[in-house]
Amino acid sequence: MAKNNSNDDLVVNIIKGIEDVKGADIDILDLREIDNTVCDYFIVCNGNSNTQVVAIANSIQKVVSKELKEKPWHVEGLENGEWVLMDFVNVVVHVFQTHIREYYNIESLWGDAKITSIESKY
């Protein structure tokens, strides 16, 4: 049970980090019921520019580090700011520029996942 609680705390803090810098279109894909997945959750969101995408990733790291004393195991994509992947092992975050997200449409690859959309505050 502790694993799920820590995942829930991680998800909540990742969402907070995204919202703190006005990340948009936040979807949580619950992969726990799907066989052979690499993690429990994908969190997908987007920003309007490479600057905002990098700011979202930095905000997530800052909030998670402050609240949970955790760091991502691996981060890719900060150099160009089009698609940043943040691997927290059980939770993987994808921060896209809007047009890149539309192109790859990774939500469609996980059609069996339960998807929860977070209503934007902005």
Q: Where are the domains of the chain?
A: 2-118
Which residue in the block uniquely carries the two structure tokens 């810098």? 21
Q: Is the pTM of this model over 0.85?
A: yes
- Nearest of 54, 51, 65, 59 to residue 19 by alpha carbon: 59
Q: Across the 122 residues of the chain, what is the mean pLDDT of every consecutive 10-residue run? A: 66 97 96 91 96 98 97 96 97 97 92 88 64
The predicted pLDDT at position 103 comes to 96
CATH code of the domain made up of 2-118: 3.30.460.10
